[in-house]
Chains A and B, each alone.
Chain A
Amino acid sequence: MSPELINLLVQAAGESLFMVSVAALLATSFGLPIGVFLATSGKGELFAAPKVNAILGVIVNATRSTPFIILVVAIIPFTRLVAGTSIGSGAAIVPLTIAATPFIARLVEAAIRDVDGGLIETASSFGASPLQIVFKVLIPEALPGLVLALTLAVVSLLGYSAMVGAVGGGGLGDLGIRYGYQRFMPEMMLAVVVVLIALVQTVQTVGDHLAKRVNRRLRHR
């Protein structure tokens, strides 16, 4: 591969990392509270609000069922409003965040629901307030699951980011399509895939390692 192509690859990797990391950060800060609420607001639960829960659930499902490429083009006016432009990597963060937030919310919900109900009962019989239960029992207990969920979300975001080429977002997946497919350079596509495999492996290894480290159940043994 020529130095020019390698240069393109490095640049695209930078764009991908930028888009995915910012989008993951934003989506986590929105998705985590939504997920916790979804997991604790059912009938007879901590913050029982079954109606709000049902409505929020429908919104989350609707966003999750919208194909990502449609979401990207459908919210162009909103993207322009938020990011000031609808073109480029920065603008692509908006649809990426909106797509990842409900995904993360559902993963967080599953991780929180996985916490032993007996622990919640114990904590409340000791007089813990609902917020204390969330921050001192549910989140610490679910932390390994949460870390793995976020790892999964980051990997999915890397996949999503291949589609933002439609709005000139760039990034690795887009480079693979533009050069590998549309300019008939299979070696470029292969290079992109190899870089992506390395990236995903790294993310997953770090995620697994972190999840093990924050596992209280293992540490206390």
Chain B
Amino acid sequence: MMRFAIAILAAAALLSGSAYAAETIRVGVTAGPHAEITEVVKKVAAERGLDIKLVEFTDYVFRTRPSRSGISKRTPSSMNPI
């Protein structure tokens, strides 16, 4: 189950990353388990050439705010680039 979750998150990261090829994407995560899981995603993604920078928020709402890059607030992803 855990492995499955990581695979999904990694896929999500790689998909959202393809549009930003060869640059670092910043991903906002909620502190705690979400951040710990995404740290593994970060490692997996790094092996495949995608650079992810994690920004941890102790507040859930703020992390899901639409960013200036125009990501829709409705994106129901736990991996919103910020």
Contacts and interface: CB of A to CB of B under 8 A. Distances in A.
Interface of A: 73, 76, 80, 85, 87-88, 165-168, 170, 174, 177-178, 182-183
Interface stretch (B17-25, B56-64, B71-79): B56-64
Contact of A183 (B36, B62, B82): B36
Interface of B: 28, 31-32, 35-36, 55-59, 62, 68, 82
A166 B36 CA distance: 17
Contacts of B35: 178, 183
B33 to A, nearest CB: 8
27 contacts: A73-B59, A76-B62, A80-B68, A87-B28, A87-B55, A87-B82, A88-B55, A165-B31, A165-B56, A165-B57, A165-B59, A166-B57, A166-B59, A166-B62, A167-B59, A168-B28, A168-B55, A168-B56, A178-B35, A178-B56, A178-B58, A182-B31, A182-B32, A182-B58, A183-B32, A183-B35, A183-B36
Nearest to A178: B31
A25 B57 CA distance: 26
